[in-house]
Amino acid sequence: MNLHLHYICNMKYSELKQSLKNHKLRITDCRMDVLEYFQQQKKALSFRDLEYKFQEYDRVTLYRTLHSFEENGLLHKIPGDSGSAVYGLCNDCGVEAHHHNHMHFKCDTCGTTECIDVPVEIPTISLPKNYKMTDMDVIVNGICNHCNSN
């Protein structure tokens, strides 16, 4: 039984390692621990969450871990309410469409963010069982009107 658990545990460990390698990241204790935690939690985590969980690592190291993960495509940043962004593991999410509140366009070239007026209803995003939507932020990145015509 213990053997079994250990076996599973080792598997996970090697998977984590492989995951780091796949993203061209060196294997370090901090990165392994943080990645494992993301895997276990299955939800987006904030810097605070990590800081609390991993007091054995320096704040700066955790910041840099998040940055390296983001840079190498292991994590993506989710824009947060008030400047305190949270991070979630990248995986393929299929989505539908829906009702909405805001719709913004941010130009990759000039950096301008505009509120886009499109006089059309957005189809309904189908959420999983038991989820209820109150409101929604849609941010589209790309090339704007102006930058595209140059």
Partner DNA sequence: ATGTAATCTGCAATGAATTTGCATTTACAT
Partner DNA sequence: ATGTAAATGCAAATTCATTGCAGATTACAT
Query: With binding defined as CB under 7 A, does residue 68 bind DNA?
Result: yes
Q: Which of 4, 40, 81, 83 lies at the binding interface for DNA (CB under 7 A)?
A: 83
Question: ∠ CA 129-91-52 to the nearest 5 degrees?
Answer: 90
Query: With binding defined as CB under 8 A, does residue 79 bind a second copy?
Result: yes
In angstroms, what CA-CA distances link 43 with 34, 81, 86, 104, 122?
Answer: 13, 17, 10, 25, 27
Query: With binding defined as CB under 7 A, does residue 28 bind DNA?
Result: yes
29-41 vs 2-22: helix axis angle to the nearest 10?
110
Interaction with a second copy in 1-40: which residues (CB under 8 A)?
none
Q: Which of 19, 49, 85, 113 lies at the binding interface for DNA (CB under 7 A)?
A: 85
**Distance of closest approach, residue 47 Cβ to DNA, in angstroms:** 4
- CA–CA gap between residue 102 and residue 118 (Å, rounded): 11
Q: Which residues bind a second copy (CB under 8 A)?
A: 42-44, 76-86, 88-89, 91-98, 100, 102-105, 108, 112-123, 125-145, 148-149
